[in-house]
Structure 1
Amino acid sequence: MSRIQKLTPCLWFDDQAEDAAHFYCSVFEHSTVTAITRYGKAGFEFHGRPEGSVMTVSFVLDGQTFTALNGGPVFRFNEAISFQVNCHSQFEIDHFWYALSAGGDEQAQQCGWLKDKFGLSWQIVPVALMEMMTDQDSSKSQRAMQAMLNMKKIDIATLERAFNDQG
């Protein structure tokens, strides 16, 4: 018997669950759609969805299982829920930033945060930032924080220069 993940985020879409799952799987390596369920006749009076249309899509992004639900226009994403993508290099930051922000809300970009074309919020952050922010020397961490506050997409080299007080 396969192990079932204890916690699985469920992302509510109007009718874009399958498109979103395939999009996210194209952005993250080691990712795949694992199952698709469809609406049937049962419950039509509640869900109002055509028989055979996609109800849920199960997918895995780099080891993390998600469910995408076509639940209708009742709920929309907002910044209260977001996902952080921890990156080890500027190459990774650039990859995830440009891929996830394509077609998204450019006004929602600040401090590594972006909103994708489905309205879901992501923060693309370098692992090095957490190391800088937890440094014992608070003046170093404050310089790194100030540098980050002036960025949309985070630039590791700029953070490092600020952290090390190299202007």
Structure 2
Amino acid sequence: MQKIVTNIWYTDNAAEAAVEWYLTLFDDAKVTSTIPYVEDEHGTVGNAMVVNFDLAGQSFTAINGDDSAKHDHAMSLLINCDTQDEVDRLWDAFLANGGSEIQCGWIADKWGVNWQVWPTEADQYVGGPDKESAVRAVKAMYAMKKIDLQALKTAYEGG
């Protein structure tokens, strides 16, 4: 069992729908358990109160709650991508399902959960050993919503 698990709060009984959609994004995703409401003070008896699930080997808990808590990008889920194609596929999937672009690789899904879709190769440009080159890459990143790996590389190399 994973010692620390990210718990994501959903309003409007959206936990199951959100998890079902997240499962379509990753090949190795699965629901591990569901805990139903057993009383009707906070939800309908039998409906999911909690959905435990795994994405890419990481455990999460989705909980149906009231609207007292809101998501913002101060806490986000980082998806390390191996290629620009993976970045594009995930970014497009978030947008097609009602998501909204933020900036610098951040995107909110339709439930307001914030994600970072990041090509791991970008680290060598925005954090590269040549400070002037890295500054150019970071400035290029600040102008982006979806990360464009080739544009970061071009900026790093002085283009």
| Fold shared, TM-score > 0.5 on shorter chain | yes
Deviation at 1:114, TM superposition (A): 0.8
* Other structure's SS at 1:131 match: helix
Q: How many aligned positions are there?
A: 157
Confirm or deny: 8 A CA contact 1:97 1:153 kept in the other structure. Answer: yes
Aligned-residue CA RMSD in angstroms? 1.3
Deviation at 1:25, TM superposition (A): 0.9
Deviates more, 1:83-92 or 1:129-138: 129-138
Aligned to 1:125: 118
Give the whole-Å Cα distance in 2 for the aligned partners of 1:48 and 1:134: 47
2:38 counterpart letter in structure 1: G
Aligned to 2:37: 39
Q: State yes or no: 1:140 paired with 2:138.
A: no
Deviation at 1:20, TM superposition (A): 0.6
Give the whole-Å Cα distance in 2 for the aligned partners of 1:93 and 1:130: 14
1:1-167 → structure 2 map (5 Å cutoff): 4-14=1-11, 15-41=13-39, 44=40, 47-102=41-96, 103-106=98-101, 109-165=102-158, 167=159
Where has structure 1 moved over 3 Å in runs of 4 or more?
none
Confirm or deny: 8 A CA contact 1:27 1:100 kept in the other structure. Answer: no
The normalised TM-score by structure 2 is: 0.93
2:57 counterpart letter in structure 1: G
The normalised TM-score by structure 1 is: 0.89
| Percent of aligned positions that are identical | 38
Deviation at 1:164, TM superposition (A): 0.7
Deviation at 1:90, TM superposition (A): 0.7
Deviation at 1:133, TM superposition (A): 2.5
Q: Which runs of 5+ in 2 are unaligned?
A: none
Give the whole-Å Cα distance in 1 for the aligned partners of 2:149 and 2:59: 29
Confirm or deny: 8 A CA contact 2:125 2:134 kept in the other structure. Answer: yes
Give the whole-Å Cα distance in 1 for the aligned partners of 2:150 and 2:126: 15
Deviation at 1:76, TM superposition (A): 1.7
